[in-house]
Structure 1
Amino acid sequence: MLKRDQDGCCWLSFLVLPGFNLRCLEASLLYLDQLNTLAEQPLYRWALLSVDDATPNDVGGLVATHYQHHDPDNLVVCAGPVAIEYRDAEWQHWLIRQLTLGCVRELLGEGLTNGLPAELDIGFCKQVCNSPQSDSSHGGVLGQHLPALRLLGLYHRAFHAQNRDASRLQRVVVLMCQNLEKPLKVSALAASVHISLRQLERIFHRHAAMAPGRYYLKLRLLLARDLTLATPLPISQVATRCGFSSLAHFSRCYRSQFGIAPKKDRLANGN
């Protein structure tokens, strides 16, 4: 589970490795900012960590701190889709220490541990990969109880697409994120990037393995789970703030996605 402070705020530290698309992180921070706004309280705050001088110093107005000067409560390791060998001994030692302390919440990126010492591979397998709620789709290890971090997994494939569709896909995902409370029609999303609905559906199936409407619904349900578990908002208000006009429909979608009704989910997590 995420570590939170006494006010219920969770600090996320994003360690950005070479090859990771920073637009993916920017979209995720936009989602977290929207979440804080809808919750009417700061559920999440975040910091950007770099491993070397090659990492940009600024992402969405966030200035990066070198990883050695930061002790994270919740570490999110962000790597690109291509396996790269990271042989910096100091960085490896620091990451192993975070694993030992139980601070690593998310491992995002294909082949992140490629070329790392066996100790680090084993550490990731034991502390992250073997979680009974893990979901290794979309290049990440996405714990069922970390809805805000699951979003990174949804974004990862979309924002690391390497073809002419990538820009359109990314613009649509950002537009979805900006309109979670009042969802747009999928046809309007397609029109916003000047393509047909059928073209948009093909792009999403190719790069996100689901239809755009399903992708949009999943974003809203992840938001709903965060609001359900981290705020005292009535379930009816959670539904409204996530774009559902019918409470019954919201409950059915929530149960289908997470295997439990929202009220029971809140009670099961001690809220």
Structure 2
Amino acid sequence: MSQINPGVQPPNRLPQTIGFLLLDNFTLISLASAVEPLRMANQLSGKELYRWFTVTHNGQAVMASDGLQISPDASFETAPKLDAVVVCGGVDILHSVTRDHVHWLQAQARHGRQMGAVCTGSWGLAKAGLLDGFDCSVHWECLAAMQEAFPRTTVTPRLFSIDRNRFTASGGTAPMDMMLHLIGAQHGRELAAAISDMFMCERIRNEQDHQRVPLKHMLGTNQPKLLEIVALMEANLEELIDLDELACYVNVSRRQLERLFQKYLHCSPSRYYLKLRLIRARQLLKQTPMSIIEVASVCGFVSTPHFSKCYREYFGIPPRDERSGQHSGQVLAMIPSPDEGNKNPAVMAALQRAQGESTYASVRI
């Protein structure tokens, strides 16, 4: 019986060992989103591809942000030899990273470990100087602070970033998407797709997917008129509101409206409105069976050719390629169907076994 192609993993290599460094008030959902794909990779492949351990600096229990207390597997002194380290951050990250954490992370990097982070854990890597010259992702609440504190690091609003031997993800379920990409690169896309199917994951998001950063977080509360205008735009993506009408709604002049957008959002109001419509169109293309003509219509485009032109200019690919490459049906198609007996039967057998277990589909995304 054939098995999943091991990808870049050399034959007979020991399982990849990953240490999850738990900081005080770390977010449990981010840890689970990173660990569960590893567990399922082992289950579906029928091999121990990964081992993982939780680590704290002194080996004592640590409190997650939801109040649950977690007893780690090891301390800095007792941790096994690791292939990768993932820093798990959460609430109040500025006070959670200590000098001991920094020194241990630096030592791990000197030994050639791959270094990763989830949620606000990127702050810990950056504080240790391990993200200088690298792209990184972090939870949107920490974006502005990291950009200010670590100018040598390219902090992006992407859901996750994989840059050479650094991999970082924002919070929530984004670490799952990142781990699925890493698993796919190491052991094949079929395995990653099968894991996604097990977790009811509609599609595997990629590095081009961005966090939805609340505008209030970017602007603060001192620009109520701009926030009101953007809210009106978001509520009227199909039937567009003229810019003069928008200005009138919030009692500013058209010229003032232009100034507000250029000063705080670094683009014209019409460009920002177009961006909102195109982002909405991308969501519909990826997450619904709506035709391209229907998507163009509900996003306020008068013609499909105009929609396609704008879409290509903004995202770099036409809508039809977006759908064919990213539609969830394509992801599921990589999972062998029962009548394809000559294609990775080990995966299908493992899926069938798992469906009979009480834990099947226990995680919903």
TM-score (norm 1): 0.51
* Pair 1:107-2:139 in alignment: yes
* Pair 1:88-2:96 in alignment: yes
The Cα of 1:107 is off from its aligned counterpart by 3.1
Using a 3 Å threshold, how does the CA distance of structure 1 residues 208 and 226 change in structure 2: closer, same or farther? same
Give 2:208's aligned residue: 145
Q: What is the rounded CA distance, in whole Å, between the counterparts of 1:238 and 1:217 in structure 2?
A: 14
* Pair 1:128-2:168 in alignment: yes
The one-letter amino acid of 1:214's match is R
* Pair 1:159-2:219 in alignment: yes
The Cα of 1:260 is off from its aligned counterpart by 0.5
2:167 aligned counterpart, secondary structure: helix
* Pair 1:178-2:238 in alignment: no
Matches within 5 A, 1:209-224: 209-224=266-281
Q: Cα deviation per residue 1:183-233 (whole Å; 9 max; x = unaligned)?
A: 111111111111111110001000000001100110010000011112111
Give 1:37's aligned residue: none
* Pair 1:203-2:260 in alignment: yes
The Cα of 1:66 is off from its aligned counterpart by 4.8
Select which of 296, 300, 314 maps to 1:243. Answer: 300
Higher relative helix content: 1
Using a 3 Å threshold, how does the CA distance of structure 1 residues 179 and 255 change in structure 2: closer, same or farther? same
Larger radius of gyration: 2
Select which of 313, 320, 323 maps to 1:256. Answer: 313
State the aligned residue count. 170
Using a 3 Å threshold, how does the CA distance of structure 1 residues 209 and 127 change in structure 2: closer, same or farther? same
* Pair 1:225-2:282 in alignment: yes
The one-letter amino acid of 1:190's match is A
Tell me if the contact between 1:85 and 1:115 (Cα under 8 Å) persists in the aligned partners: no
Using a 3 Å threshold, how does the CA distance of structure 1 residues 68 and 253 change in structure 2: closer, same or farther? farther
Q: What is the rounded CA distance, in whole Å, between the counterparts of 1:176 and 1:217 in structure 2?
A: 10
Q: What is the rounded CA distance, in whole Å, between the counterparts of 2:138 and 2:149 in structure 1?
A: 19
Question: RMSD of the TM alignment (CA)?
Answer: 4.3
Q: What is the rounded CA distance, in whole Å, between the counterparts of 2:90 and 2:249 in structure 1?
A: 29
The one-letter amino acid of 1:224's match is A
What percentage of aligned pairs have identical amino acids? 30
Q: What is the rounded CA distance, in whole Å, between the counterparts of 1:97 and 1:85 in structure 2?
A: 12
TM-score (norm 2): 0.39
Using a 3 Å threshold, how does the CA distance of structure 1 residues 158 and 107 change in structure 2: closer, same or farther? closer
1:128 aligned counterpart, secondary structure: strand
Give 1:62's aligned residue: none
2:94 aligned counterpart, secondary structure: coil
The Cα of 1:105 is off from its aligned counterpart by 7.1
Structure 2: gaps of 5 or more residues: 1-24, 26-63, 69-88, 102-115, 122-135, 170-177, 179-205, 331-365
Q: What is the rounded CA distance, in whole Å, between the counterparts of 1:250 and 1:176 in structure 2?
A: 18
